[in-house]
Amino acid sequence: VSKRRFDTNRSHPQFTLGDLVWMKILVGRGKLDARYSGLVRIVQVLSPVSFIVEDQNFQTFQVHSNNIKRVYARE
C-alpha cells in the first residue's frame, strides 16, 4: 500500500544522451558546502536509471539517476 502511494506522486525523470546535468557530491562534503558539483554531460545510457557521465576534464563516472539533476537554462 505505501509503495503505491509513494509511486503516485513520484516523477520519473527521463535523461537522454548529451543532456547536461549536475552530479551529487556523495563524500567529503561539509554541512554548508555545495550539494552538487559542476556540469557533466551524459555520454552513455546503461539502463533507464544508470548513466556514464563525463566532466569538463574528460573524467567519466557511473551514476544513478537519483544522484543527478537536470540543468535548466535561464531565460
29-51: b (≥16 Cβ within 10 Å) or e: eeeeeeebeeebebeeeeeeeeb
**How far is 4 from 17, CA to CA, in rounded Å?**
30
Cβ proximity of 63 and 53 under 8 Å? yes
pLDDT tens profile 13-45: 899 999 999 999 999 889 999 999 989 999 999
Q: Is the pTM of this model over 0.85?
A: no
Residue 27: phi, psi to the nearest 5?
-130, 155
Q: Is the distance from CB of 68 to CB of 55 less than 8 angstroms?
A: no
Would you place residue 7 in the very low, low, confident or very high pLDDT band (cuts 50, 70, 90)?
Answer: confident
Give the mean pLDDT of the chain.
Answer: 92
Which numeric CATH code is attached to 2-70?
2.30.30.140
Domain ranges of the chain: 2-70
Q: Is the pLDDT of residue 12 over 80?
A: no
